[in-house]
Every structure is written in C-alpha cells, then in structure tokens.
C-alpha cells in the first residue's frame, strides 16, 4: 500500500467497500511504458478505468486513448486529449456511432470484418483503419476467445478492399491475451503480421502500423515481468520480423497502466462454518462479484488480500460476496489463507484493483450501491 492510500484511508475513513487509486503510480506506469518502448505511441485502454482524474493525468503526460464507445471518446476529449490522440478500437460499432466519432474528429478506427469496413467507408470516409488479426494468445491468464479478429488471409483481402473504398489502410492489430505473463508471445503475433505486411507489399500496398494491443499484466499473487522486459522482447521481435523497415507501433495498456495503482478496502460481514465439523471457514465480505470484482469469475484473477493481522497464523477460507446470489463467491476452489484471528468487522485490503473494477460494478444488484472510488 502506498503512503498516499494509507493516509487517505486513515484520515478520511471512507465507508466500505471503496476503491482508492494512487495517481502517482499511474504516472509512473505511463513513464515505464514510454521508456520501455520509446518509439511506440501509448494508447491507454480507457475501459480499464475511465475516471476523469486518470484520463486528465494521462492526457497531460501525452498519452493517447483507446476507446470502446462514443461515451469513452467523449470522456477522453473532456480530459483534454484532441481527437488525433483517440482510437476507436472496438471492432463492433453501430454505424451511427462511427458517424458520431467521425464528427468528433476521430480518424483512427479498428475493424475485423467486411461489414464493419463498409460501415467505416460510408461513415468515416478517408479515415485510417487497422484490421485486427486473430492470434493464439497462449500464456495469458485470460486467453481471449475468437470474438475479435479474423484470420490473416482475410485481413489481407480486407486491407486491399479498404484502399479501394477510399479508406487509409494503415495497419494491423492483435492482442496476445489479457494478463499475458510471457513477453515472448508478441513474437509469434509479430511474425504473423509481418507476413501480411510482406504479402500486401508484393501487391503494391504498403501498411505502416502495427498495434501491439494490450495484455500487459498487473502483479497479483504471482510476480510478472517488468515493462522493460516486455519492451525488450517486443523490440527484438520487431527487428526479427520487420528488419530495418520498422512500422509505426501502438500499445494499448489498460490493466498494466492502472491495475497496481488501486486498492479496495472492504469489511468482513460474516465468518461462519456450515457444520460443527466444517474444516473451512466461509468469510463474507461487503464486496463481491457484482460489486466490482467481476474478474474473479472462474477465479481467474486472484487478488492479494491483506489485513492488519497479516503476521498472525493463517488458515484457509472460502471468500464470498454479500449478495443473495450463490454465484457471488470469489474464491472457493482456490481457498485463501486468511488470519485465524480474523473477526467480523475487520477491514481487509484487496490489492491491485485499479483496473476493471469500478465500471464492472452492477447498478444496484441486491440494492447495493456501485463501488465508490477515490483518486488521490
């Protein structure tokens, strides 16, 4: 926990559950990405945490913004980023939203299908477009499904068509999978994209940009490589596959930019056992899967959990949320070591929760308020 977060919690004593984000860590993460890949433009994935305080800070630092909707474009503009620093990176857009983004000045759009390309040609004429290519995504804690992207052969055909339709066929994007702990995964994806570049160049079409996507991890329970490790691996792969004609590059960190900057404070509501002989306690918190911890689905993301009794003896516990929903269990297969002396009313800190928490929170499930958040 940072001093700023500790001081805020001690002085303000906010109601739980709440998220507190240390903006200094966000600024530090931005600098690390910029230093690790000095030639790449950083597009912060707004969906990870769209708080105005984060967007303004990053806009001041010179960050660009990867957006998923017109609402996110408007947030980035409101934070002071010009439209030339905004990418409409969702491959699934209503044509009316494309037109609205274009009217707002956005000129960089993602797509992965013929129908989307035709929408862009009609409603964002002349814009720069990049096609998302399917890659394997091994090694990610949340491997992406095939929801986004198309096979390289289709990307080639679509980029040729983009030129015919009067769009600017700018480049390709891929995504190696969320919370990707293996920097080498960018290598295979860059080999694939370089192949598309070569085959299109042979047909007279010179692509200029590779969007390296997101996937940069946050440290949860396991150690992760540094931004510099990722930068080194990516630069090596770029040189291996593109030689001396390096393309423009974009990275889209979201989790890697804000994940470790936030900490959720929660209260223990109940501790119980299901029978006198039950070997495991159930520990119920005032936050759960529907209050912001949606990424515990399938126990995929295992957040570090701390208490003031961290030095005490520990014992495994099943950790669950406060709603009347039986699916609102955070960790059961992977029971958590928590202090034996833990008591109802104790405060716990859930670390590395700056990304993908506030906006995932449900409007009012079971009547509980969405997650409160403070930016210090």
- Rounded to 10 degrees, what is the CA torsion of 231, 235, 236, 241? 140
The partner residues of 268 in beta bridges, in order of sequence, read 285
The partner residues of 316 in beta bridges, in order of sequence, read 337
Rounded to a whole number of angstroms, the minimum distance from the CB of residue 39 to a second copy is 25
Kindly identify the residues of this chain, within the stretch 237-276, that bind a second copy according to CB under 8 A: 267, 269-276
Rule CB under 8 A: say whether 310 interacts with a second copy.
Answer: no
- Rounded to 10 degrees, what is the CA torsion of 297, 302, 305, 310? 140
Kindly identify the residues of this chain, within the stretch 47-76, that bind a second copy according to CB under 8 A: 47, 50, 67-72, 75
Out of 18, 131, 150, 324, which one is annotated catalytic? 324
Question: Segment contacting a second copy (CB under 8 A): 230-238, 239-247, 322-330, 333-341?
Answer: 322-330
Rule CB under 8 A: say whether 123 interacts with a second copy.
Answer: no
Structure-token pair, residue 253? 């960190």
* Parallel/antiparallel/unpaired status of strands 372-375 and 314-320: unpaired
- CB-wise, 10 or 324, nearer to a second copy? 324
Q: Is 324 an active-site residue?
A: yes
Rule CB under 8 A: say whether 94 interacts with a second copy.
Answer: yes
Closest CA to 231 of 223, 241, 239: 239
**Phi (first) and psi of residue 40, to 5 degrees:** -90, 145
Rule CB under 8 A: say whether 93 interacts with a second copy.
Answer: yes
Rounded to a whole number of angstroms, the minimum distance from the CB of residue 239 to a second copy is 30
| Strand runs labelled E in 82-200 | 86-88, 108-111, 128-132, 140-142, 168-173, 178-180
Closest CA to 32 of 20, 23, 22, 42: 42
Neighbours of 81 (CB within 10 A): 24
Query: How many residues sit close enough to a second copy to count as binding (CB under 8 A)?
Result: 76
Kindly identify the residues of this chain, within the stretch 332-351, that bind a second copy according to CB under 8 A: 332, 344
Query: Binding marks (x or -) toward a second copy, 127..166, rule CB under 8 A?
Result: -------x-------x-xxxxxxxx-xx------------
> Quick one: which H or E segment has residue 120?
helix 114-123
Residue given tokens 């891929």 in the structure block: 174
Choosing from 224, 265, 358, 375, the residue that interacts with a second copy (CB under 8 A) is 358
Rounded to a whole number of angstroms, the minimum distance from the CB of residue 320 to a second copy is 6
Q: Could you give the angle at which helices 70-78 and 95-103 cross, rounded to 10 degrees?
A: 20
- CB-wise, 205 or 269, nearer to a second copy? 269
Structure-token pair, residue 96? 């009316």
- CB-wise, 139 or 208, nearer to a second copy? 139
- CB-wise, 124 or 238, nearer to a second copy? 124
Structure-token pair, residue 220? 């949860």
Kindly identify the residues of this chain, within the stretch 186-205, that bind a second copy according to CB under 8 A: none
Question: Segment contacting a second copy (CB under 8 A): 30-38, 106-114, 201-209, 255-263?
Answer: 106-114
- By annotation, the residues acting in catalysis are 324
């Amino acid at each position: 926990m940072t001093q700023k977060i500790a001081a805020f919690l001690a002085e303000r004593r906010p109601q739980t559950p709440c998220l507190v984000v240390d903006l200094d860590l966000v600024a530090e993460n931005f600098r690390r990405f910029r230093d690790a890949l000095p030639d790449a433009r950083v597009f912060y994935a707004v969906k990870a945490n769209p708080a105005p305080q984060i967007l303004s800070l990053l806009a001041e630092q010179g960050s660009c913004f990867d957006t998923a909707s017109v609402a996110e474009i408007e947030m980035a503009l409101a934070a002071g980023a010009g439209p030339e620093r905004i990418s409409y990176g969702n491959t699934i857009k209503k044509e009316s939203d494309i037109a609205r983004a274009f009217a707002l000045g956005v000129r960089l759009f993602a797509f992965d299908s013929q129908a989307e390309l035709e929408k862009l040609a009609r409603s964002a004429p002349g814009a720069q477009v990049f096609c998302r290519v399917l890659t394997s995504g091994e090694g990610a804690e949340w491997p992406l499904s095939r929801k986004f992207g198309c096979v390289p052969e289709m990307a080639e055909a679509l980029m040729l068509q983009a030129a015919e339709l009067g769009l600017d066929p700018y480049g390709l994007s891929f995504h190696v999978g969320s919370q990707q702990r293996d920097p080498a995964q960018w290598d295979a994806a860059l080999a694939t994209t370089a192949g598309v570049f070569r085959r299109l160049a042979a047909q007279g079409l010179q692509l200029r940009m590779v969007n390296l996507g997101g996937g940069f991890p946050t440290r949860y329970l396991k150690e992760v490589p540094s931004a510099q490790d990722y930068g080194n691996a990516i630069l090596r792969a770029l040189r291996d596959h593109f030689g001396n004609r390096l393309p423009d590059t974009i990275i889209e960190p979201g989790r890697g930019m804000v994940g470790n900057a936030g900490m959720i404070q929660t209260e223990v509501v109940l501790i119980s056992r299901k029978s006198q002989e039950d070997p495991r306690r159930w520990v119920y918190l005032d936050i759960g899967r529907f209050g912001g911890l949606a990424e515990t689905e399938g126990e995929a993301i295992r957040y570090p959990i701390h208490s003031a009794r961290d030095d005490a003896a520990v014992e495994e516990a099943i950790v669950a949320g406060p709603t009347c929903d039986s699916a609102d269990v955070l960790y059961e297969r992977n029971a958590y070591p928590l202090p034996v002396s833990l008591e109802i009313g104790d405060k716990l800190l859930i670390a590395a929760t700056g990304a993908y928490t506030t906006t995932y929170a449900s409007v009012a499930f079971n009547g509980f308020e969405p997650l409160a958040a403070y930016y210090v």
